[in-house]
Amino acid sequence: MGPASFNSSDYVVLGMVGLGARSGYEIKQTVELSIRFFWTISPAQVYPSLGKLERAGLLLGRDEPQGNRPRRVYERTPAGTLALRDWLKRAEPMPFELRDIAMVKLFFADALESADARQLLAQIKSRSAERVVTLEAIRPGAEEAARAGSTHPLLTLELGIAFHQAMLEVCRRFERCPSEITART
Last residue of a domain, one of 50, 66, 89: 89
pLDDT at residue number 102: 93
Read off the pLDDT band of 183 (50, 70, 90). Answer: low
What's the CATH number where 23 sits? 1.10.10.10
Domain that residue 123 falls in: 101-182
CA proximity to 20, closest of 88, 81, 83, 76? 76
CA dihedral 137, 174, 185, 158 (to 10 degrees): -10
pLDDT at residue number 67: 83
Which ranges of 58-151 does DSSP label H, i.e. alpha helix? 78-89, 101-107, 114-147
Q: What predicted TM-score, i.e. pTM, was given to this entire model? A: 0.82
Other beta carbons within 10 angstroms of residue 50's beta carbon come to 22
Other beta carbons within 10 angstroms of residue 84's beta carbon come to 20
Other beta carbons within 10 angstroms of residue 12's beta carbon come to 21
Q: What is the mean pLDDT of residues 149-159?
A: 95
Partners of 62 in the beta sheet?
73
In a domain, 95, yes or no: no
| Same domain membership, residue 84 and residue 15 | yes
- According to DSSP, residue 23 is labeled B
Residues comprising the chain, all counted: 185
Note the pLDDT tens digit of each residue in 101-116.
Answer: 999 999 999 999 999 9
Check pLDDT > 90 for residue 157.
yes
pLDDT at residue number 70: 86
| Same domain membership, residue 83 and residue 110 | no
Number of domains in the chain: 2
pLDDT at residue number 43: 84
pLDDT at residue number 49: 96
Q: Strand pairing of 72-76 and 59-63?
A: antiparallel
Which ranges of the chain does DSSP label H, i.e. alpha helix? 8-18, 24-32, 43-55, 78-89, 101-107, 114-147, 152-176, 178-182
Cα separation, 51 vs 119, in Å, equals 47
Check pLDDT > 80 for residue 179.
no
pLDDT at residue number 163: 96
pLDDT at residue number 135: 95
Proportion of the chain above pLDDT 90, given as a percent: 74
In a domain, 96, yes or no: no
Note the pLDDT tens digit of each residue in 39-97.
Answer: 888 889 999 999 999 999 999 999 988 888 888 999 999 999 999 999 999 999 988 88
Phi, psi of 149 (to 5 degrees): 110, -10
| Same domain membership, residue 71 and residue 127 | no
